[in-house]
Amino acid sequence: MKTTIHKSASRWEIEEFPAVMTRQTLANLLGVSIRTITDWTAKELLKPCRPTLRVTRFLRKDVIAFLEQWTV
């Protein structure tokens, strides 16, 4: 099953994304649940940045790469 995101210009603008995002922030920006972000990370569709084992962050460049690959 292929994961796709349908881009809506009114929902988000990539230029406005923070340089570093939490799961909650990213979920809010993309309009999905935290569970979806966790699933995408587990499936290695979305690359996390883990400064420590308990902290997960996402870099803007990795989110942009993910969106370019999976947005229709």
For residues 46 and 1, give the distance between their C-alpha atoms in angstroms, rounded to a whole number: 16
Q: Which comes out higher in pLDDT, residue 70 or 56?
A: 56
Beta-sheet strand order (sheet of 20-21): 20-21, 55-59, 49-52
Q: pLDDT category, 59, cuts 50, 70, 90? A: very high
Domain ranges of the chain: 19-70
Q: pLDDT category, 17, cuts 50, 70, 90? A: confident
Residue 28 confidence (pLDDT):
92
4: pLDDT strictly greater than 60: no
